[in-house]
Structure 1
Amino acid sequence: MSATTSIFHPYLSRILSSHLSSIPIDTLSRTPPSRLQTTALPNIGLIELVSATDFTTLYDPLYKASFPRRAEREDSDLITARLAAQSAGTRTGLAPYRIVGIRDHEGQAIGAAQFSVLPLPTHPYPHSDNTSSNDNNDTPSFAVPYLQYIYVRPSSRRQDMSEVLHTMVLAVASADALAMSAQPRTIPFTLFETEPPDHGDDATSRAYAKERSKIHTSTGGVAVVLHRESDGKILSAHVQPGLETGDPPLTLVWVIRQSPSPGRPWDIRSIGKDLVAAYYQSLRDEGFPEENIRLAERIVEARCKGADFYLMALGDVRDFTDPEHLDIYPSN
């Protein structure tokens, strides 16, 4: 199966269709194609890799409306510059940066997903009971789409548009991964961040966080946490550095959404630290403040001591800002 035989093919832009020419797109959808043909596709005019120009004119207003708090969204000028560099081929050595967008039949933005494709460090992983291999000398090679933002306009919700976007994220990331190195990389899951279900300063914000966690759980999302053996504590594996100089680090929750076609077995206990390393390396590559990145790294390094990476239901995660759940900050 290729892009030309996919149910999505009639809706793909020329550039996106070419990019996905060897990718079996339909196998990457968690939602049955028959359902998408009823709910989503009749409302779609175009699915595209968004250019810098189209982001500015079509998608940026929806992006800002979807994330109205300035602190929770990246500066649009930086996004535009990154898209322009990706299109010009000047991001050599950097993680591919993409925005997949959906337009309606009038050419207006329905929604978009903004993400980077992170290559994980390549080295032999120890095999565990649920990650068997036929070759003890093989070296699994992974890439992970890090989904920074996904948004759909209110009038197009409950039409499975987010499912279309999630599928396209996996498809584009799969194509990018094939081009990264001679050894094919596979995409085990999509990674993104969110707040714990009970996070917030008041009832309204806690209710919002709880609703988001329900949405992530309903679409197959599970939390990546650290389990410390000595006392059984659950710690967050994710600390977001301050995005601007002087901004403090922020503890959030990493959530993964497994690919329906992961390509090879994987184990979060084996690749967890590589995931952390790839995340912080991508921030360095993009020019975020080194002092902020290093502080966040030290926090995670301290949490990892004596702890294993672990997957748990997002609904069971407590707010890590609660002192009882040890939001650990190192002394140096």
Structure 2
Amino acid sequence: MKIGNIELGTMPLFLAPMEDVTYKSFRYMCKKFGADVMYTEFVSSEALIRDVKKTHQKMHLFDFDRPVAIQIYGHDIQSMVNAAKVAEEARPDFIDINYGCPMKKIVAKGAGAGMLQDLVKMQRMTAEIVKAVSLPVTAKTRLGWDENSKVITAAAERLQDAGVAALAIHGRTRKQLYTGEADWSLIAEVKNNPRITIPIIGNGDINGPEKAAEFLRQSGVDALMIGRGAIGRPWIFREVKNYLQTGEVLPPPTVVEIAQNMLDQLHMSIEWKDNVRSGILMMRRHFAKYFPGLPNFRPHKIKLLQATEMEDIEQIMSEIIEHYGDLRVDYTNVSLK
């Protein structure tokens, strides 16, 4: 598979762009365990052209990231064009347009998945961005606005006509948010559309290697994208790759292995933020996901979520390791919700 001239090999695995999740330390962990393509958190076009410091920080890229995309979103065509030009200066490998975010504050302005209600504007915006930059441009979107307007086939054709180099599709509508099940049959419909020649990347509900293989069998997509299934489980990329190559399921990590990886991610978060408290706060979403299904774990989880000092977290982790030792964590029934 290729994006522009970027060779990604056969069946690359993408880490989905996620707000407040796909920052430096989490991207590093996913790359360490086999993710092939990274995305930044999504970047507001309006904030970018206003030179908001926090927004520019999201675009800081690192050698381990590559290949990596900066994802932008917005509702105004000229602002998006300008934002794409600014993003290009940060030297990503490609630029991605967010046409899939379902958050109310985003879609209320017609951005993100809100653009699925105006495919003509979506196509025009995409074409203008493609013309404005020299890097490949890709897009990520959903099946449609709601059950009665699953316009993904038409949207895919329009985006291809506008010049995107690849398209990622999340198998839900905007109205679904993250409820119900992802519909991979419509992703397959796009992939098998004879008009579509660009790579199609499938996304939605990949929570383990066997599910990944089943979705791949159903759809025939060119690549898989993993989002929420990687939070607290960055080694899912290694598990999926191994299963697709060998048909064998790797044993889940032990509590000791998980604890060490979580601490590695925490230390990198603190280093990146240059502030202990800020680094710990960044990690709280991950603390809640790293040890699913352990018996009587709730008291440890509460302490982790309340800790504000590194010494306290290290003490809690020592207690967890002492209590659970080499127990392996079973992710079989872990919910993505």
State TM-score, norm by structure 1: 0.31
* Structure with the largest fraction of helix: 2
Higher relative contact order (CA 8 A, sep 6+): 1
TM-score, normalisation: structure 2:
0.31
Q: Which has the higher strand share?
A: 1
